[in-house]
């Protein structure tokens, strides 16, 4: 059985859970509590030397980094493909994936926020301002792009890897009480996705390690 090491509130773990759910793949969850620092413990470092989540084990195959995992699952388990057939549409999906994975996530993940507070002495207000700035900057451009690519979902009328990136990022924005009214296309796409059972089952609140 597939094994996924992750954390309920990790947006990167959320992305991978979405792919697993959309493809109807059974998997065993191994919670890694980021707030308690379990990712830095020797036991987990033996699984993933980078000490990050998510991490996937598929028999002899072991993969870190959420986008690599998502692409591996889509290529290895072709039922319910999450990349379009047309080359231009595939490129648009990759563009959206990279806007979130490269331009938002590295600046806003937990270890960066902790460094801002603990090492650089920035209080919560400054940390939150930093967080929201990088989402706003990318969402402004992403909204314009999605106005040209979206149907029901981010690229056309079928769920793709772009949606598996977008929904977790919006989840994070909501956690920080961001106002998303300037991004009506993003809000519409996410609302459509959140009606699907796979997105409900993969949501952070639905996970066995979820905390109030």
Q: What are the pLDDT tens digits along the chain (212 aa)? A: 999 999 999 999 999 999 999 999 999 999 999 989 999 999 999 999 999 999 999 999 999 999 999 999 999 999 999 999 999 999 999 999 999 999 998 777 777 777 878 788 888 888 888 888 889 999 999 999 999 999 999 999 999 999 999 999 999 999 989 999 999 999 999 999 999 999 999 999 999 999 86
Decide if 34 is inside a domain: yes
Number of domains within the chain: 2
CA 135 to chain centroid? 13
- Residue range(s) defining the domain that contains residue 116: 87-198
The model's pTM: 0.93
The reply to whether 99 and 119 lie within a common domain is yes
The reply to whether 101 and 154 lie within a common domain is yes
Both tokens assigned to 146:
């999605």
Boundary-marking domain end, from 46, 80, 114:
80
The reply to whether 165 and 99 lie within a common domain is yes
Both tokens assigned to 5:
């090491």
φ, ψ of residue 57 to 5 degrees: the values are: -120, 125
Decide if 146 is inside a domain: yes
The reply to whether 75 and 112 lie within a common domain is no
The reply to whether 76 and 93 lie within a common domain is no
The enclosing H or E element of 155 equals: none
Boundary-marking domain end, from 80, 111, 146:
80
Q: What's the residue count for the chain?
A: 212
The reply to whether 14 and 53 lie within a common domain is yes
Are the C-beta atoms of residues 142 and 169 closer than 8 Å to each other?
A: no
- Say how far apart CA 63 and CA 69 lie, in whole Å: 6
The reply to whether 41 and 93 lie within a common domain is no
Boundary-marking domain end, from 33, 60, 80:
80
The reply to whether 74 and 168 lie within a common domain is no
């Amino acid at each position: 059985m597939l094994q996924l090491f992750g954390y309920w509130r990790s947006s990167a773990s959320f992305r991978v859970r979405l792919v697993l759910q959309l493809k109807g793949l059974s998997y065993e969850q191994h919670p890694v509590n980021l707030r308690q620092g379990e990712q830095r413990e020797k036991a987990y470092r033996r699984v993933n030397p980078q000490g990050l989540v998510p991490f996937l084990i598929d028999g002899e195959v072991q993969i870190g980094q959420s986008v690599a995992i998502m692409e591996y699952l889509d290529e290895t388990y072709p039922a319910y493909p999450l990349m379009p057939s047309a080359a231009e549409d595939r490129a648009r999906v990759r563009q959206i994936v990279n806007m979130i994975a490269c331009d938002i996530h590295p600046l806003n993940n937990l270890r960066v926020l902790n460094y801002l507070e603990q090492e650089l002495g920035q209080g919560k207000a400054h940390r939150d301002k930093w967080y929201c700035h990088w989402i706003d900057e990318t969402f402004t451009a992403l909204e314009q792009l999605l106005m040209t690519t979206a149907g029901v979902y981010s690229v056309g009328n079928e769920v793709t890897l772009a949606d598996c990136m977008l929904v977790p990022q919006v989840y994070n924005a909501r956690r920080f009480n961001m106002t998303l009214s300037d991004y009506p296309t993003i809000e519409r796409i996410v609302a459509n996705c959140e009606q699907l059972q796979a997105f409900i089952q993969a949501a952070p609140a639905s996970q066995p390690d979820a905390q109030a």
